[in-house]
Structure 1
Amino acid sequence: MIDRMELLAVIVLGFLLDQVLGDPHWLYHPVRLIGTYISFLEKGIRKIFGDGERALLAGGVVLVLFVTGTTAVVSGGILYACGRISPGLKFLVSVILCYQLFAVRSLKDESMKVYRELKKDDLPAARYAVSMIVGRDTERLDMTGVTKAAVETVAENTSDGVAAPLFYMTLGGPVLGWIYKAVNTMDSMVGYKNDKYLYLGRAAAKLDDLLNFIPARLCAWVMIFASYLPSKDHEFDGSHAKEIFLRDRFNHASPNSAQTESVCAGSLRIRLAGDAWYFGKLVKKKYIGDDLRPVEIEDIPRANKLLYRTSWILMGLCAVVETVLNLL
């Protein structure tokens, strides 16, 4: 049985570590290991299953089962072994595992790299910086396009990198959090609707959509609430955030991605999304938000402020939920 107060302490300490450390380059992140494992399995599955539509669909299911199963066994096994050695060691490792599931500080750090290059009017450097955090082609982006891409990834990943991991950690601790992270990593690697991954990546993409369904919507409503809070120079507009969310939350191929993106667009009173280039092909996409004012580079730090507000409120909700569950 889960000790809810201990789990809350683990999650809070992990969250605070992320706030302080972020994702330093010297620290090997387990996601890289999961990514290597996914690539290894992909090669084997393609070799064994072949390239037929049904074969690749079946191979995609096998990929999901192996990656999630291995992640559960490895993370659970590590915590079990640590617990056999010392409860204190298990607690410490649990904190580290939770810390590495959060992406608040890294989202801010990486997007602010884009901001700093834009402030210097160095468009090539800004394009390179934003290419590190988005999946689209960036060589055609102008200053506004780079800014929009940075704001969009902060908005979208407030759900994927904060709300969803926190949601699953709250329910089932670090192990369930890492199972979610493994699915999300698979989706980012093979969940594309192109010739290479249309069938092989379908199971991972559908499972990622399912796992993000509740967290994305919860995060969106929390972000709306955060937009209503007082802000310097009235940076955020809560009522418009709610209006655009209700209108544009499905203006994306994914059922979840536009949930928080629409809130951010409405809160900042700008228009996001629209057509984008992926792997050399122009993809037609709907706009999100109204073009009430021009997008400006200061929207990047504003999006980060919204990210931090939302993250702290979500952490507060986690504390309430764990406390209530502990009393039941």
Structure 2
Amino acid sequence: MYLALVFIAYFIDFLFGEFENLKYFKHPIIIIGNYIKWFEKKFYKDSIFRGFLLTFSLLLIIFIITSIIELFDIFILEAFLCSFAISSKMLYDSVKKITTSTNPRYDISMLVSRDTTNLSNSDINKAAVETYAENLSDGVIAPMFYILLFGLVGAFIYKGVNTLDSMVGYRNKRYEKFGKVSAILDDILNYIPARITAILIALFFKSKKAFKEFTKYGKKHESLNAGLPISAMALALNIKLGGPTSYFGKIKDKPFFGEGKENIEKTDISKALEFKSKFDLFMVSFFIIYLISEFFL
């Protein structure tokens, strides 16, 4: 168990986010993304096997590099690197921006893959809440879960799979076969974290309804995992998320998640974002308990 590593990595992200001002340091996820682009450009073929080679080669490289770094046993270096796998501050800041933006339609287009040109204010706000809830699992809880279990190696194996899924894990003509392996792996790795995220949302917002019914609505989503935190957030805030959504010029008849109001306001985004302050308090409290147990018990 790498409990101390989880705490310090989270607090580094809390304080510094993505370290955007570092001149001579490239974000590890950008490096992973560049490798995926390079492999696709050189070796793409409409084939499950080629997609497997992409996934296998990337994860092997990640495993070798992170294992070598772990051999040096420099805790602060590992915590620094693990913080790049956690996106709590960046996610919060990106979604928070929607509530104050003079051009929220443009800003939401930077966060979602749906068509944004004709979105109403309510649709923009809905997209912001949905992407926040879904990415709480992918960007916060899941990487912390794998840091806790497997340290630096676990953090970047997870982020490698997650980045693969976000780049090639689409069900379309180009990626249906090529991205299948990474999409399946992403479903497997997010299975437990997505459920933990939904439960945390229900607990932090003190919503019995969310706790009892997030699976009822979440299982309607085409994704094995994504609908669970979205449904938990909708139920906790008493709003209705999901519904017909336009992607690449075509309306996708998505199910609804939740039972509340359909007109989503900026105040609903702000309420959803309260998760971060509640989770921060949870982490601080847990860290204090950890320190007491380490030094006094």
Q: TM-score, normalised by structure 1?
A: 0.82
Q: Secondary structure at the match of 2:251?
A: strand
Q: Which residue of 2 aligns with 1:192?
A: 170
Whole-Å Cα distance in 2 between the matches of residues 77 and 261 of structure 1?
38
Residue correspondence of structure 1 range 64-103 to structure 2 within 5 A: 64-80=55-71, 83=72, 87=73, 90-103=74-87
Which of 246, 251, 257 does residue 220 from structure 2 map onto? 251
Aligned residues of 1:223 and 1:310 also touching (Cα < 8 A): no
Deviation of 1:130 after TM superposition, in Å, equals 1.0
The 2-side partners of 1:315 and 1:280 are apart by 45
Cα gap change, 1:29 to 1:312, in 2 (>3 Å): farther
Amino acid at match of 1:191: G
Structure 1 residue 131 and structure 2 residue 109: aligned?
yes
Deviation at 1:311, TM superposition (A): 6.0
- Note the aligned Cα RMSD (angstroms): 2.3
More moved, 259-268 vs 314-323: 314-323
Match of 2:253 in 1: 284
Q: Paired residue for 1:158, among 125, 136, 140?
A: 136
SS for the counterpart of 1:282 is strand
Q: Percent identity?
A: 34
**CA distance 1:280–1:294, shift in 2 (3 Å):** closer
Residue 14 (structure 1) aligned with residue 9 (structure 2)? yes
**Residues in 1 aligned to 2:178 and 2:284: alpha-carbon distance in whole angstroms:** 35
Structure 2 unmatched ranges of 5 or more: none
Instruction: Give 1:31's aligned residue.
Output: 29
| 8 Å Cα contact 1:163-1:311 kept in structure 2 | no
Deviation, structure 1 residue 269: 0.2
Match of 1:42 in 2: 40
Residues 218 and 314 of structure 1: CA distance in aligned 2, closer, same or farther (over 3 Å):
farther
Whichever residue aligns with residue 68 of structure 1, its letter is L
Structure 1 residue 111 corresponds to structure 2 residue 108: no
Preserved CA contact (<8 Å) 2:165 2:183: yes
Q: C-alpha displacement at 1:19, in angstroms?
A: 1.0
Is the Cα–Cα contact under 8 Å of residues 191 and 197 in structure 1 kept in the other structure? yes
Q: 1:316: Cα distance to partner?
A: 6.6
* CA distance in 2 between partners of 1:223 and 1:265 (Å): 10
Q: Separation in 2 of the partners of 1:18 and 1:211? A: 22
Taking the aligned partners of 1:317 and 1:97, their CA distance within structure 2 comes to 22
Q: Find the aligned partners of 2:286 and 2:48 in 1 and give their Cα distance.
A: 38
Aligned equivalents of 1:256 and 1:97: distance in 2? 26
Compared CA separation, residues 63 and 266, structure 1 to 2 (3 A): same
Q: Give the distance between the partners of 2:282 and 2:184, measured in 1 at CA.
A: 28
Shift of the alpha carbon at 1:314?
6.8
| Corresponding residue to 1:173 among 151, 163, 167 | 151
Deviation at 1:162, TM superposition (A): 1.0
- Over 3 Å counting, the alpha-carbon distance change for 1:100 and 1:257 in structure 2 is same
- Tell me, in whole angstroms, the C-alpha distance in 1 between the residues paired with 2:183 and 2:138: 13
CA distance in 1, matches of 2:292, 2:161: 28
Structure 1 gaps, min length 5: 229-237
Q: Does 1:60 align with 2:51?
A: yes
Normalising by structure 2, report the TM-score.
Answer: 0.90
- 8 Å CA contact retained: 1:111, 1:154: yes
> 1:160 corresponds to which letter in structure 2?
D
Aligned residue pairs, count: 290
Residues 116, 109 of structure 1: CA spacing in aligned structure 2 closer, same or farther, 3 A cutoff?
same
Query: What amino acid sits opposite 1:130 in the alignment?
Result: I
Q: In structure 2, what residue type is equivalent to 1:36? A: N
Report runs of 4+ in structure 1 exceeding 6 Å deviation.
314-324
**Correspondent of 1:240 among 205, 209, 226:** 209
